[in-house]
Structure formats: C-alpha cells, structure tokens
C-alpha cells in the first residue's frame, strides 16, 4: 500500500498519540539501543529518543521515511522491510505501534525481530486485534461490492491466544498480552470517516475512478452512520492487542 505522509501527519497523528502509552513500558535511558519498526513519520521514534537511548526508526515506505528525516533531522531513519531486517543481536528493545496488522507473513516478521534483538531483548508492540474496525470493513466491503469489487481484507487482526502461540513458536516468552476495545474518535467531524478511509483503504481505492471512489466513500459513510456516528463525531471501532515479550535463545 502507498502511504501518504502528509495526510498521516495532518489527520491521523492520533495513531501515534495513542502509541505514546506503550512507551512507558520501554527502558529509554542512555545506553539502551531501540529499534522502532514501522516508524511512519517518526513521532514515536522521537519520543523514544528523548531520554538518551540510541534509536533507529525503520519503515518500508520511502515517503514516510523522507517525512521522518525532515521532521527529526537529528535522528537515524532507514527504509527497511520489517520482515527482512538486516540486524543481528543488536537491540535491547524492538518497539512498534500500529504496524503488525499490515504484515501478512507474521512468522517472517517475528523471525526478523528475534534476530534483531539481543538475548533477553524485549519486543514491545501494539496493533489491531481480532474484530478491529469490523463495522468499517463490513460497510466498505458492501459499498465496494455494489461496484462488483471483491474486497479482500489486507489486515492481520489476531486474538491474543493466536498471537501468544505465534510469539512462542518464534522464540519469545510472553510477559504481557491483552486485547481491548479502544473506540477512537476521528478528527474533522463529518469528514473524519471519509479521510480515514482515503488513508487506510488507499490500496483498494486505486481500483476506481474518482466518481466511483466518491460513491463508495459516501455509501460506506451511510452504512456506518447507525453504528459509529455518535454525538457529531465518527468513533472508529478499534480493538487493540498489546504485547510485551522477551527474546529467548531458540532451541534447534
Ligand atoms: C499506521 S502507520 C504507524 C506509524 C507509526 N508507528 C506511528 O505510530 O505513528 C503504519 C506504518 O507501518 C508501515 N509498514 C507497513 N508494512 C510494513 C513493513 N512490512 N515493514 C515496515 N514498515 C511497514 C507503513 O509504511 C506505515 O508507516
């Protein structure tokens, strides 16, 4: 999917705002080495670096990395695919906010993170859980279906039981894993859902003319209105999974 860093910073920086709570779990003191996986425009990379830790932000989108470099020129950012990181036993912590659900090959992702961490290094992350944005996805699927488009969700939204198993199989000991509802108000009043879909369903919307795209967006809004339009605001039906896990040496 193509990421639009301007739209992200202008309308969707709430994603990073929510991610700030996860930073409390991270040791950010001087001497610590931290990798921020899927750093986007660098907002949380900058937070992670504030106490003196050495932080590298990585993201597969060049547009996001260019924006991060321009926002925080004193920090290190690199274009890297999270499933194919080049590091070996290098980090005390791998941190990631709102990224893992974009990645289908979770075995490869966790293997890549396991390799990047030193022994007893921590993986601290949050992303979409089972049934995340189910109202929005169902409405979008129906609206796009009216144009004979078969919507196929690109997202991986696991339950905590499923994800605990994947982590253990990848050589992690799970210290904390929870799933929770996080109803999320979207910025911009009436336009909030429209903007949100333009950002997060950009890959699907590329398949339509401007006119069709507009019709799909309006129809998705109409279908969602009864469930997630509340007191003059769109409240997205987010569900999150939070993970703290420790890298163990894998038994061959
Ligand atoms: C919703 S943004 C979150 C950005 C940032 N972590 C934050 O909290 O603001 C998701 C990010 O994941 C990145 N991403 C998606 N798939 C990726 C992959 N395979 N490897 C690295 N980054 C990826 C996207 O480019 C995007 O910047």
- pLDDT band per the 50, 70, 90 thresholds, residue 17: confident
Contact 83, 59 (CB under 8 A): no
Of 26, 99, 104, best ligand 1 pocket probe by most atoms within 8 Å of the beta carbon = 99
Which of 154, 174, 145 is closest to 243 using CA atoms? 174
How does pLDDT run across 132-163, given as a tens digit for each residue? 999 999 999 999 999 999 999 999 999 999 99
Measuring from atom 16 of ligand 1, which residue has the nearest CA? 102
- pLDDT band per the 50, 70, 90 thresholds, residue 3: low
Q: pLDDT value at position 16?
A: 78
How does pLDDT run across 41-70, given as a tens digit for each residue? 999 999 999 999 999 999 999 999 999 999
Taking CA 203 as the corner, what is the angle to CA 202 and CA 208, rounded to the nearest 5 degrees? Answer: 85
Determine the CATH number of domain 5-132+155-185+237-247: 3.40.50.150
Given a cut of 80, is residue 250 above it in pLDDT? Answer: no
Rounded to whole angstroms, the Cα distance separating 144 from 149 reads 5
| Cα of 99 from ligand 1 centre, angstroms | 5
Residues facing residue 234 across a β-bridge: 229
Given a cut of 70, is residue 1 above it in pLDDT? Answer: no
Which residues form ligand 1's pocket by a CB distance below 6 Å? 3, 15-16, 19, 38-40, 43-44, 59-61, 64, 81-83, 97-99, 102-103
Domain range list for the chain: 5-132+155-185+237-247
């Amino acid at each position: 999917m193509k990421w639009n860093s301007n739209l992200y910073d202008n309308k969707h920086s709430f994603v990073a705002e929510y991610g700030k709570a996860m930073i409390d779990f991270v040791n950010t003191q001087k001497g610590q080495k931290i990798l921020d996986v899927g750093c986007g425009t660098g907002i949380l990379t900058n937070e992670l670096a504030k106490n003196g830790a050495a932080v590298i932000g990585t993201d597969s989108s060049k547009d996001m990395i260019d924006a991060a470099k321009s926002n925080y020129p004193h920090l290190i950012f690199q274009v890297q695919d999270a499933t194919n990181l080049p590091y070996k036993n290098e980090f005390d912590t791998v941190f990631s906010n709102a990224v893992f659900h974009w990645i289908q090959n979770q075995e490869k992702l966790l293997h890549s993170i396991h390799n990047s961490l030193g022994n007893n290094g921590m993986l601290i992350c949050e992303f979409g859980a089972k049934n995340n944005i189910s109202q929005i996805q169902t409405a979008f699927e129906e609206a796009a279906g009216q144009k004979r488009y078969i919507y196929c969700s690109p997202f991986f939204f696991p339950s905590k039981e499923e994800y605990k198993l994947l982590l253990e199989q990848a050589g992690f000991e799970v210290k904390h894993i929870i799933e929770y509802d996080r109803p999320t108000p979207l910025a911009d009043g009436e336009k909030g859902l429209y903007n949100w879909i333009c950002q997060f369903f950009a890959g699907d919307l590329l398949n339509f003319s401007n006119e069709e795209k507009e019709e799909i967006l309006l129809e998705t809004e109409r279908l969602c209105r009864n469930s997630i339009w509340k007191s003059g605001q769109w409240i997205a039906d987010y569900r999150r999974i939070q993970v703290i896990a420790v890298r163990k040496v894998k038994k061959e």
